[in-house]
Amino acid sequence: MPGEDPPRALLLIRESMTESREGIDYAVRVSVRARRVTLRIAPPEGLVVVVPRDFSRGKIPSIIEERRTWIEKTLARVLPDKNAGPDVPLPERCFLPALQTCLDLEEKDFLTRLRSIAQERLVPWAWSLSRDAGLNPASISIRNQRTIWGSCNAQGRISLNQKLLFLKPHLVRYVILHELCHLEYRNHSALFWSFLEQVDPACKAHRKEIRSAQWSVPPWAY
Ligand SMILES: [Zn+2]
């Protein structure tokens, strides 16, 4: 967005219209100046599809499919090495700030373990916040996205990144509330932010803080 600080973080909350198809996460940005569709890849946002106003979003998946080779090559260059995981020595235990608890990592399939912990703890947390806020997502699920903390699609389905387990509780809460508020406002308008502010009065500070939060995520969690 124009006028914002230069992007620093790789993981962030993207535009509400973030969607994921064919395993590639992307954000859609509508530009009044764009004449045609362009794909941009840069940290922190990863893949951004810039579309002219009135462009039909249904065409985006096939555009992504056509450019898949370029997208994957470029993403691999700008995002952390996804093959770094197995080479990084695993600690025996790790601390999960989100839950203020330690996790034993003796099991080999620690990514699956992280997912099930996120499923058991983050999903009920999100449902509870949604009830408190009077919002009704169609579903809340856990994924292991590479470049986003969470998303809310046009059907009201919310996805939360299992890497949120490595963030402090107030930032996890911020991400959940941010996505829940997209059920009301599918954009980042002033109305959206004032709506979010009602449930998270410090949301602007949290938004700044989350820009560097990716560094709390250990390499093996990718
Ligand atoms: Zn958002």
Per-residue pLDDT tens over the stretch 36-78: 888 888 655 678 888 888 888 888 888 888 888 888 888 777 6
Residue range 184-211: mean pLDDT, rounded? 94
More confident residue, 201 or 91: 201
CA of 18 to the centre of ligand 1 (A): 9
User: Over 80: is that where the pLDDT of 188 sits?
Assistant: yes
| Of 207 and 91, more confident | 207
pTM confidence score: 0.65
Q: Ligand 1 center to residue 90 CA distance, Å?
A: 33
Distance 27 CA to ligand 1 centre (A): 10
Q: With both helix axes pointing from N to C terminus, report the angle between 169-181 and 190-199 in degrees, rounded to the nearest 10.
A: 130
Expressed in angstroms and rounded, the spacing between residue 133 Cα and the centre of ligand 1 is 17
CA of 174 to the centre of ligand 1 (A): 11
Q: What is the helix, strand, coil percentage profile of the chain, to 5?
A: 40, 20, 35
Gap between the Cα atoms of 113 and 208, Å rounded? 30
Compute, in angstroms, the gap from residue 13 CA to the centroid of ligand 1: 5
Ligand 1 centroid–CA 87 distance in Å is 34
Q: What is the mean pLDDT of residues 192-215?
A: 93
Please confirm whether the linkage preceding 86 is cis (ω < 30° from 0): no
Give 155 Cα–ligand 1 centroid separation in angstroms.
Answer: 15
Distance (Å, whole) CA 104 – CA 113: 10
Cα–Cα distance measured from residue 100 to residue 65, given in angstroms and rounded to the nearest whole number: 41
**Range list of H helices, 3-88:** 60-66, 68-78, 84-87
Q: State the distance from the centre of ligand 1 to the C-alpha of 69, rounded, in angstroms.
A: 28
Distance 39 CA to ligand 1 centre (A): 20
Q: Which residue has the higher pLDDT, 144 or 104?
A: 144
CA angle 146, 64, 151 (to 5 degrees): 40
Q: Residue 103, Cα to own-chain centre: how many angstroms?
A: 23
> How far apart are the C-alpha atoms of 173 and 127, rounded to whole Å?
11
CA 55 to ligand 1 centroid distance, Å: 20
Determine the distance separating the centroid of ligand 1 and the alpha carbon of 178, expressed in angstroms. 6
Strand 150-152, strand 46-52: pairing = unpaired
Could you tell me the domains of the chain? 19-78 (no CATH), 91-221 (3.30.2010.10)
Q: Separation of 177 CA from ligand 1 center, angstroms? A: 10
Neighbours of ion ligand 1 (CB under 5 A): 13, 16
More confident site: 11 or 30: 30
Q: How far is the CA of 17 from the centre of ligand 1 (A)?
A: 8
